[in-house]
Amino acid sequence: MDKLSKEEVLHVAHLARISLTEEEIEKFRIQLKVLMDDIDKIKDVKDCDTEFMYTPIEFNAKLREDRVGSMLDAKESTLNAPKKNGNFIEVPVMIYE
């Protein structure tokens, strides 16, 4: 089959919410068939067993190890603060209206 039927083309046009002239219907009968044949070729491709390559470079970043207890406690975190109120660091108010 080297063409789609007129009804199939009109169905596709209806789904796309477009109106077609008689010349466009004849043109699209061939073009849509070629497109569908190409899609069938893609479906026939066998899956390969190799891993997919997501990027052309390898991911070689070195990440630090997570260590429990590596965080500062409240007193250590406020030692160098210019102004503090208990365990909190005071910052100037910046409100613009």
pLDDT tens digits, one per residue of 14-23: 999 999 999 9
Domain ranges of the chain: 6-44
Pick the CATH number of 6-44 from 1.10.10, 1.10.3470, 2.60.40, 1.10.20: 1.10.20
DSSP state letter for 85: E
Is the CB of residue 8 less than 8 Å from the CB of residue 33?
no
Type of residue at 4:
L
Write out pLDDT tens, residues 29-82.
999 999 989 888 887 776 666 666 677 777 777 887 877 766 777 778 888 888
Q: How many CB atoms lie within 10 A of CB 9?
A: 22
Structure tokens, 96: 């613009």
Q: What pLDDT was estimated at residue 50? A: 65
Burial class (CB in 10 A: 0-12, 13-18, 19+), 28: buried
